Structure 1
Amino acid sequence: MNPLPARPEGAERFSLQRSRALRWAVGIGAASMVAIGLVLLFLLTQATNNRELYERNYTRLFVVNVVVAALLLLVIGWIALRLALRLRRGKFGSRLLVKLAAIFALVGLVPGVLIYVVSYQFVSRSIESWFDVKVEGALDAGLSLGRATLDTLANDLANKTRAATNQLADAPDASAGVVLERIRDQLNANDVILWSPSGQLIASAGESRFQLNPERPTVQQLRNVRSQRAVAQVEGLEDSGLGAISNARIKALALAPTGRLGLLSEPRFLQVTQALPPTLVANAIAVQEANREYQERALAREGLRRMYIGTLTLSLFLAVFGAVLLAVLLGNQLARPLLVLAEGVREVAAGNLSPKAVLQGKDELGGLTRSFADMTQQLADARAEVEQSMEQVNAARSNLQTILDNLTAGVIVLDAQGVIQSSNPGATRILRAPLAAWEGRPLADMAGLENFAHSVQAQFDAFLSERAQHGLDHWQQSFELNAAQPHLPQNAITLVARGAELPGAARLLVFDDISEIVSAQRAQAWGEVARRLAHEIKNPLTPIQLSAERLEMKLSGKVGEPEQAVLTKSVKTIVDQVDAMKRLVNEFRDYARLPAAELKAVDLNALIHDVLHLYGHHEGETPPLQPVHLELDARCPRILGDSQQLRQVVHNLLQNAQDASESAGKRGEQARVTLRTHWSESTQRVRLTVLDNGTGFPEHILKRAFEPYVTTKAKGTGLGLAVVKKIADEHGARIDLANRVTEGVVHGAQVSLSFAVAT
């Protein structure tokens, strides 16, 4: 199970920072919304006590609330869009997150709507109750009562001032101050002033004495006094707060007659100022302010109701939007550990055991993510150990396979029924059969290996039956088998095989080709025989020849004609047979004393041309009965060889090929011998092949063709191919011998040698 590739570390860090920034932004927005909502609720609770402050800041708060509500609505819409996209894509955890958000939103929305409905009814009815008819009548009556009281006090002061003017009738201007002090005491006034007809100060008593420029009555006031004899007015009620209470007073102005007669005498004006009682002034101002505020609110009643209802609605929106936003955030906080766990489980199921995300929360879900991350790390460590062990096993297996592939011995693993389970290239090379393509099939079904397979099976059966009795752990046996495919250029194979049992009832068969060893042993034995025969036979041949010649010389002319003819013929026969024996002995000697090859770089094509000069057709000569056809590969590089011995090899092969064609009774082109060279780039070797059109080798000769004294010729010693084989072994060349078969008919033989290239 291969692990999925983990995401890049930079991408994970960027995603984590982005998620953290988003949470911070949402948290700040939520905190701002809560702060604004708290301020709004505080102002609503303080509206009755500080209406001016509330009305002054209402527009700003309204705009801010609208902006915050719009932003929250956008955020909620964006979150809803993301949830919809996650749900549409089928992303894990989307349904859970939607359910949690919906539950929290309903928990916040339903109570909010209920409170809003109740508050709406309460505010509407409360505002209507503020403007009851009885309240308005009471405020009007109180205002009228206050005005009537002030008017009564003003009229009373005016009448008293008018009566007091009689005391000034005979008083001159110089002594008027004394009279004014008396009048001030009588009327309990704060200030008394006597004005001339032109509005000039004559005398004063009270506060005005300390003023450099007392306030003079206006021309209109003086005119009214002349027509009405006395007037009074209330002043200072226009001020607010403590100023109205301290400055509220009644100012009375009356016409003071003079006792002097004459055209120049003019009336004077007496001005009396009396402070109003503070309690009366405060009550009058309170009634007046209450009536004014009541009238203002009565006129703006609908606007006030809309203001309160709008504020309440905004508060509801803020509460609902905040509840939805908190629902999403809380839902995300609850679902996030589950999503992290689900993502981690999916990655683990896919084989990705990379470090998993861990939440730093102290709750149980955060602890669960940490436990899961620890478990994943333990799994990763365990898998790393297993992979390391598997790598070691694979390395050991690879080493074993490399060893098996490079073993010169053949190795085959069979089951109890003799079915091939595995094999190495050495087995294919030795048996010269496609064992790799034959895996899963019985060895006995391969052509040419039936007897070998049955023999091996019999050896295993005997081994298993006797193993417990004799304590054997393997068996060993030699086999001689033919080629698996007889038409290929290969010889009989001598094997030494060793068998043992493997776990699981499998069977191990190890074998090696000892044909070369057997052939070398035979060649060595025949060489020793040839050496001894040459020594034992050559010594008596010369005396025999000399004795026969001496008998002919002594008896010639001494016997009759018939006896002479017998003598001559007998001596000639003895001499000819002795010469034949000498030639045979010389061949034995040459085979036994074949010198070691001196390997040098040799141009094989040039050497072949040089040898074939002896077999060529020259002008004026009879054409050869067995012509030689050359197919030389010009790409052939130089090979490592002994040129003298290679000449002997080519000569022996050509001679054997021509003899085979002659023995088949073929002449001319039908008896043509082909000599071919070929350069193989894949094996880096040069191949020499000689082909004839003879009758081929019989089966019993094909198996032992390279052994000394094995021949199909009527004449000859059978040492030609043996010498070729010995020279090939000296050169490290592989030699193959086979019949040329076409559609099951043998039409000749071929001998091939494969040489290494000179470096």
Structure 2
Amino acid sequence: MSRPADASGPPDTARRRLRRWSLLLAISLLVGIGLILIFLLVQATNNRLLYERYYARLFVVNVVVAAVLALVIIWGIYRLWLRLKRGKFGSHLLIKLAAIFGLVGVLPGLLIYVVSYQFVSRSIESWFDVKVEGALESGLTLARASLETQARDFGNQLRLASASLEEVPDALVAVPLDQLRSQLGATDVNLWSGAGRLIAGAGQSRFQIAPDRPSAQMLRQLRAQGVATQLEGVDEEGGVAGKDASPPRIRALVPVRARSIGLTGEPRLLQAVQPLPTALVSHALAVQEANREYQERALGRDGLRRMYIGTLTLALFLSVFGAVLLAAVLGKQLATPLLMLADGMRQVAAGDLRPKVVLRGRDELVGLTRSFADMTQQLADARASVNSSMRAVEAARAGLQTILDNLTAGVIVLDHAGVIQSSNPGATRILRAPMAASSGRSLAALPGLEAFADEVQAQFAAFEGERSEHGLDHWQKSFELYGHAAGGMPSDAVSLVARGAALPDGQRLLVFDDISEIVSAQRAQAWGEVARRLAHEIKNPLTPIQLSAERLEHKLADRLQGADRALLAKSVHTIVEQVDAMQRLVNEFRDYARLPTAELRRIDINSLVAEVLHLYGGGGDDGRHAADAPVRFEADEQCPPILGDAQQLRQVIHNLVQNALDASEGVAPAAAADAGVLVRTQWQEPVQRVRLSVIDHGHGFPEAILKRAFEPYVTTKAKGTGLGLAMVKKIAEEHGARVDLSNRVVDGRIVGAQVSLSFEPAKAVA
């Protein structure tokens, strides 16, 4: 699977990621600070006190933030210029993206700034109009007049209501006062004496220890106008005085005349307090506040214009710088996947199919990097699969080559013209030609193989002509090769069975095997049958012939004299001698044809060899050899017993020693120590075999005889029958032993021959 970007291990990637996140965090922090400062500036414009107190500081901080953003933008532009100068992929794309985002952010910002500047300048001038100022003055006058009218109305109502108290004595005035308070909607109604003593009260003031007495100003107004009213909780312009002042209300004071006879005649004063209507007070307050702000801003219109334009300019700078910076960041975000794709493509083109980095996200470009990483992984898997398949093919090819190299059969791949494409060591061994060095040469160009190559080509031509018609998949034929190993002697023949088949691309497969040993075995079997028949057909007439010759000599010897008698005796002797020779030959035929089945028993090979060699003077009872004996024996005391037929093995040892003595006869050895025949036994520990070797110092065997030496009637001796080695091989096969025949070569010269038999040791008896 592809790796996520944050799971990449290389230190450079981690450092780049840390640097990128640090930059984004710093930019976000600066933009956040700038937005907060703009917000504070906007809030300051609505509060003159706050504006006058903190505007300078806010303005400086905004300028610093704008300067930092400008430096960051300049640094980013410098880096883009360096990338463009170095010719890095994606530089033009980053510049285009930054320019697009920058124009998208700057041009509308400039347009809005120009329009806003004109709007602010003209709007501020339009705020301070004579009509507006007159309207505010009229509103303020109207609010004051409304409050005064409300106070006069309340005073008149209180004067009319005071008539109901004229005839009520002081002791009974409490109940009428409470009724009067409810009638007037007043909060407090108090009745005072002329001396300022509270006679009775209704409302909240009765719970007060010292209720508010009529002021001197109200008393003067009462004497002057007959009714005194006062607005409390309202300033001179008709607005609310403040949070700590009493709530807005109307206080009225009227005299109460006394008409009853029983009264003392002391004047009394009726005082009432009525709250002002909330709506009226709110409207008055709004008019008052609007007029106050209007007057203040009218005095500072130039500063107000500078404040708004400055705030607008700072907002423009921050927005433009933020837009450009955001353009660079977003452009980098858009270009990063493309850069990763380009780098990954260069790596893939260079053969690097390691897992690629994948960015996190769900947009199409990130998905493209993920798809590219998946494709790269699939390519890597495919290449690994191909490499694995190639290794498997190479292993199979190596295994096939090993099999071909170890096949006893010969294998040759030819093209349609008979040119050798490849071969195995078996072909070199069987054909006795340098096949590996002859690759690329025609088979017919190799010495001694011309006829064989022509016959093979003819077989392939016939096979290709008949394959489509008869559905054949191969052809097979036997061949005899002559003269390529021993000077063209007919006896030096190699029997081959060859098999041919077609390969792809017009190539041809030729497989052949040396069946000379099989042919030799068939010949041995045939000679065994011939020997049996000859022994049967020839043996019977031999005895009558011998008896007849001897009877003739017995009958005619006395009748002949001189030369005739000598001729008769000589002729009869010759007949008898030849009959004996033929008798021996027939016996050998019989023994070869009727070799009995071996009876295997545990045998000490050293003792058996010493027993046989005792007949040749080559060893005593202890198996040791004499220094001057024609036959020498080197025994390996570590040889374990073997399973064998003692009688047949004696015959084998006798035949081999006799053949070795015959081969060494008349040959001068190179050294005195090499004289005679050497018989040796060896225990071969690595292969667990007991080896019996008979070594002579004769002329060795011709190359043509080595291949057929174990066939019946193949011999190099003038008087030999050629059955000795054939009997040896047959007995060895009965014992499960391997027999080898080879010439001994020293310094390129044949110095004798060696026959070896390898026996398996007898298993230990439990």
Residue by residue over 1:675-727, the C-alpha shift from the partner in whole angstroms, topping out at 9 and shown as x without a partner, is 45677788887665433211112345445433333333344332211212333
Which residue number corresponds to residue 730 of structure 2?
726
Distance 1:341 1:126 in 2: 55
Tell me the C-alpha RMSD between the 2 structures.
Answer: 7.7
Matches of 2:625 and 2:409, distance apart in 1: 55
1:663 match: secondary structure: coil
Counterparts of 1:94 and 1:639, CA distance in 2? 88
Letter paired with 2:699: T
For residues 534 and 192 of structure 1, the distance between their equivalents in structure 2, rounded to whole angstroms, comes to 177
Q: How does 1:292-371 map to 2 (within 5 A)?
A: 292-293=292-293, 313=314, 317=318, 321=322
Q: Could you tell me how far apart the structure 1 residues matched to 2:458 and 2:197 are?
A: 164
Give the Å deviation of 1:611. Answer: 4.5
- Hey, what does 2:752 align to over in structure 1? 748
Note if contact 2:479-2:497 (Cα within 8 Å) is conserved in structure 1.
yes
Pair 714,624 (structure 1): closer, same or farther in 2 beyond 3 Å? farther
Q: 2: CA distance between counterparts of 1:491 and 1:754?
A: 27
Residue 49 and residue 745 in structure 1: after superposition, are their counterparts in 2 closer, same or farther (change >3 A)? closer
Question: Does 1:653 find its partner at 2:656?
Answer: yes
Residues 753, 268 of structure 1: CA spacing in aligned structure 2 closer, same or farther, 3 A cutoff? same
| 2:413 match: secondary structure | strand
Please point out which of 706, 715, 720 is paired with 1:716: 720
What is the Cα deviation at residue 526 of structure 1?
2.7
Moved more, 521-530 or 564-573: 564-573
d(CA) in 1 for partners of 2:498 and 2:572? Answer: 58
2:720 equivalent to 1:737: no
Distance 1:341 1:411 in 2: 53
Classify 1:606/1:593 alpha carbon distance in 2 versus 1 (closer, same or farther; 3 Å): same
Please give the secondary structure, in 1, of the residue aligned with 2:712. coil
Is the partner of 2:584 in helix, strand or coil? Answer: helix
Q: Specify the alignment match of 2:454 in structure 1.
A: 458
Question: Corresponding residue for 2:197?
Answer: 200
Q: CA deviation at 1:624?
A: 4.6
Q: Which residue identity lines up with residue 234 of structure 2 in the other structure?
A: L
- Cα deviation 1:213-267 (Å, max 9, x = unaligned): 79544788699999x999997533156499999946587999x9xxxxxxxx999
- 1:601-616 equivalent positions in 2, closer than 5 A: 608=609, 611-612=612-613, 614-615=615-616, 616=618
**2:175 matched residue in structure 1:** none
* Equivalent residue runs for 1:22-37 within 5 Å: none
- Report the equivalent of 2:183: none
Deviation, structure 1 residue 646: 3.5
Q: Is the 8 A contact 1:739 1:748 kept in 2?
A: yes
Equivalent residue runs for 1:573-612 within 5 Å: 578-598=579-599, 608=609, 611-612=612-613
SS in 2 for 1:450: coil
Partner of 2:106: 110
Q: Is the 8 A contact 1:112 1:319 kept in 2?
A: no
Question: CA separation in 1, counterparts of 2:318 and 2:646?
Answer: 111
Partner of 2:481: 480
- Note the 1:486-635 alignment, pairs <5 A: 493-499=494-500, 502=503, 504-543=505-544, 545-546=546-547, 578-598=579-599, 608=609, 611-612=612-613, 614-615=615-616, 616-618=618-620, 623-630=627-634, 634=638
Q: CA deviation at 1:608?
A: 4.5
Distance 2:552 2:570 in 1: 12
Q: How many residues are aligned here?
A: 672
Residue in 1 that maps onto 2:709: 705
For the residue of structure 1 that corresponds to 2:655, the secondary structure is helix
Alignment partner of 1:290 is 2:290: yes
Distance 1:104 1:608 in 2: 109
Match of 1:421 in 2: 421
- Quick one: structure 1 residues 240 and 303, their matched pair in 2 at CA, closer, same or farther if it must change by over 3 Å? same
Q: TM-score, normalised by structure 2?
A: 0.59
**Residue 659 (structure 1) shift:** 1.9
CA contact (8 A) 1:732 1:755 kept: yes
Q: Which amino acid aligns with 1:290?
A: A
Alpha-carbon distance between aligned partners in 1 of 2:502 and 2:282, rounded to the nearest angstrom: 126
1:645 Cα deviation after fit: 3.0
Match of 2:233? 236
User: Superposed, which structure 2 residues align to 1:38-53 within 5 Å?
Assistant: none
CA distance in 1, matches of 2:606, 2:319: 104
Residue pair 1:235, 1:251 contacting (<8 A) in 2 also: no
Indicate conservation of the 8 Å contact 2:692/2:756, yes or no: yes
**Aligned-residue offset at 1:664:** 1.6
Cα distance, 1:426 vs. partner? 5.9
Matched to 2:453, the amino acid is Q
Hey, what does 1:186 align to over in structure 2? none
Question: Which letter does structure 2 place at the counterpart of 1:737?
Answer: L
Deviations 1:134-183 (A, max 9, x none): 999989988998999999999x99xx99xx9xxxxxx99989xxxxxxxx
Cα distance 1:113–1:680, how it changes in 2: closer, same or farther (>3 A)? farther
Q: After superposition, what is the alpha-carbon deviation per residue over 1:333-388, rounded to whole angstroms, capped at 9, x for unaligned?
A: 8986998999799989989999xx99999x99999999999999999999999999
Give aligned-pair identity as a percent. 46
* Pair 1:241–1:513, CA change in 2 (3 A): farther
Aligned-partner SS, 2:665:
helix
Question: Within 5 A, what are the aligned runs for 1:30-179?
Answer: 98=94, 102=98, 105-111=101-107, 113-114=109-110, 117-118=113-114, 121=117
- Which moved further from structure 2: 114-123 or 370-379? 370-379
Distance 1:209 1:376 in 2: 92
Quick one: distance in 2 between partners of 1:598 and 1:347? 77
Say which is worse superposed, 714-723 or 375-384, in terms of deviation. 375-384
What is the TM-score with the length of structure 1 in the denominator? 0.59
Q: Secondary structure at the match of 1:710?
A: coil
Partner of 1:179: none
Question: Alpha carbons of 1:415 and 1:150: their partners in 2 closer, same or farther (altered >3 Å)?
Answer: closer
Tell me the residue number matched to 1:260.
none
The alpha-carbon distance between structure 1 residues 332 and 608, as it changes in their structure 2 partners (threshold 3 A), is farther
Q: 2:674 aligns with which of 646, 670, 675?
A: 670
Partner secondary structure for residue 697 of structure 1: coil
Check 1:144–1:7 CA distance in 2 against 1; reply closer, same or farther (3 A cut): closer
Select between 625-634 and 216-225 the one with higher mean Cα deviation.
216-225
Contact kept? 1:624, 1:668, Cα under 8 Å: no
Deviation string 1:533-575 (CA, Å, 9 cap, x unpaired) is 4344444444555566667778999998999988887776665
**Higher deviation after alignment, 510-519 or 119-128:** 119-128
Shift of 1:113: 4.7
Alpha-carbon distance in 2 for matches of 1:12, 1:42: 37
Q: Which letter maps to 1:454?
A: E
Partner of residue 19, structure 1: none
2:452 maps to a residue whose letter is: V
What is the rounded CA distance, in whole Å, between the counterparts of 2:608 and 2:432 in structure 1? 32
Instruction: Determine the C-alpha separation between the residues in 2 that align with 1:208 and 1:511.
Output: 142
C-alpha distance in structure 2 between counterparts of 1:599 and 1:755, whole Å: 12
1:414–1:174 CA distance, 2 compared to 1 (3 A): closer
Distance in 2, matches of 1:622 and 1:677, equals 17
User: Which digits, 9 at most, give the CA deviation of each residue in 1:30-72, with x for residues without a partner?
Assistant: xx99xx99x99999999799979x99xx99xx9xx99xx99xx
